[in-house]
Amino acid sequence: MSLAPAHVLLALDLVGIFAFAISGGLVGLRARLDLFGIAVLAWITGLGGGIIRDVFLGDVPPVGITHPGYLLTALFAGVVVVLVRPRLMDLRRRRPGLRIGLIGSAVKHLDAVGLAVFAVSGALKAVQLGAPPLAAILVGGITAVGGGALRDVLVGQVPEVLRRELYAVPALLGATVIVVADAFGVLGVPVLWLAVLLVLAIRIAAIHLNLQLPTPDRTGATP
């Protein structure tokens, strides 16, 4: 079994936390929350997936609430959103349609980054802790979608994972790559970043090409 150094898992987590925390703060702006609400959404979006991962794996207390770097990264992301808030508020007054579209696009693309790195880091940590292959894949997927789902529930909307273009599928695919690479003894840094790029590419393609899983026919009687 060839595992990546611990600092690589830390780097993946920090990138995912920052991207997701920024997206959470932007959703707070779009929902017209106050500064405290924006900070809460940034924190829960950035750290929620990792906390769920650690609880599932029995690695408690979760590093999301004990590691200073994790907490500071989420805090820094919240500060970034607060700093750009005046510009976005001014844009809302002058061109409300552009402002809404800009935030929506930014949230989707930041989510794509967070999804990719958290799918890989979640599966990687599960493998490192000796989780069975299927459990490692599921933990990777849950890590990737957990923070965004909590964010969406808090602002009263259907979670992105349940209603948008391909979302959870790329995360599960990336987690599967990690598990398979571990099984063949080739799990190293290059494989990790290739898995991240694979998930990111699929998710970005899904956003721009509107790729979706088949949905039930909406015609007919409502059950």
pLDDT tens by residue, the chain, 223 residues: 455 567 888 999 999 999 999 999 989 888 888 888 888 999 999 999 999 999 999 999 999 899 999 999 998 998 888 888 777 666 666 666 555 566 778 888 999 999 999 999 999 999 999 999 999 999 999 999 999 999 999 999 888 777 766 888 999 999 999 999 999 999 989 999 999 999 999 999 988 887 776 666 555 444 4
CA 42 – CA 21 distance, rounded (Å): 4
The pLDDT of residue 196? 97
Whole-model pTM?
A: 0.87
Q: Do the domain assignments include residue 94?
A: yes
The pLDDT of residue 96? 60
CB atoms within 10 A of CB 218: 6
Q: Do the domain assignments include residue 165?
A: yes
Q: Do the domain assignments include residue 88?
A: yes
What amino acid is encoded at 207 in this protein?
Answer: I
3-state secondary structure of 86: helix
Q: Dig out the tokens for 144 from the structure.
A: 């990737």
State how many domains the chain has. Answer: 1
DSSP letter (8 states) at residue 53: H
Q: Which residues have C-beta within 8 Å of that of residue 132, sequence separation ≥ 6?
A: none
Tell me if 152 sits within 8 A of 159, measured CB to CB. yes
Q: Do the domain assignments include residue 92?
A: yes
Q: Do the domain assignments include residue 18?
A: yes
Q: Which residue has the tokens 């829960």?
A: 44
Q: Do the domain assignments include residue 1?
A: no
**Taking the CA of residue 59 as centre, how many other CA atoms within 13 Å lie in the half-sphere pointing to its CB?**
21
Domain extent at residue 68: 6-209
CB atoms within 10 A of CB 85: 16
Q: Do the domain assignments include residue 40?
A: yes
Q: Do the domain assignments include residue 181?
A: yes
Which helix (DSSP H) or strand (DSSP E) does residue 200 occupy? helix 189-209
